[in-house]
Amino acid sequence: MPMTYIEKLNKATAAGNVCVGLDPVISRMPEHLRERADGLNIFCESIVSSTAPYTAAYKPNLAFFEALGRDGYDALERLIDSVRKNAPQAIIIGDGKRSDIGSTAQRYAVAMFDRWGFDAVTVNPYLGSDGIKPFTERTDRGVYLLAMTTNPSAVELQDHGGEGDPLYLRVARLAETLWNEDNNVGLVVGATRADRIARVRELSPSLPFLIPGVGAQGGDLDTAVSLGLSPDNPPGVINSSRGIIYASSGEDFAEQAGEQAKLLRDNIADCK
């Protein structure tokens, strides 16, 4: 019998809670790699190799690979192979925020889980159960629903309903109950609005959190850990992208990425 997603997550986070976000932009890569045909592959695979000892999850943002066309798809495939080889304990979260009507969502689920082999995906819950169930019915895979994101304009929709019943809390409530039949649903809860994490946790006590927004986006790590990753909560991960993968623009970029991943792992442990 295959492991459930929560079993995979427990195993991955046994030694830490770092999620490395992989959002590669050619112009931000070290200069000596930018003009090389294999530069993107070297960059991504070197980041994985150097951060593997400290990392519970890798989260490639699909937009950054899709924007490069065939080369990007090839790089993503090689990246996934690199994680499986260098960090077999880690989970891979396909960050595409996919969602659509049921028949299309089912095709997205096939693409994300069967074609790419992701252990988990991010999903926009705006379409409700029809757009969520094709992902959650894969009991060995995880689904992180967007609840409280880090972008400034998120409040335009996510705060709808006012302080008493904002939309992001309705997502948390439904994720804990209606949408979590197979115990494989989690929530994306941004650290940039750390004062509200406690409200989300109160309504979703059994759900693992994927927490972006620390590091370059300025989210408060101590609050995110204490409210989102306490020992009484399910295992969660703290994502850092730019703060790790762009830690150096020199030839020591991989070494510095590893140092930053280790530092984040240790800082998370100190906050618990």
Kindly list the catalytic residues. 97
The structure tokens listed for 262 are: 């280790």
Closest CA to 28 of 252, 266, 271, 250: 250
Judge residue 193's burial from the number of C-beta atoms within 10 Å of its C-beta, 0-12 exposed, 13-18 middle, 19 or more buried. buried
Distance (Å, rounded) from C-alpha 23 to C-alpha 26? 10
To which H or E segment does residue 21 belong?
A: strand 18-22
Go through 165-179 and write b for each residue having 16 or more CB atoms within 10 A of its CB, e for each that does not. Answer: ebbbbbbbbbbbeeb
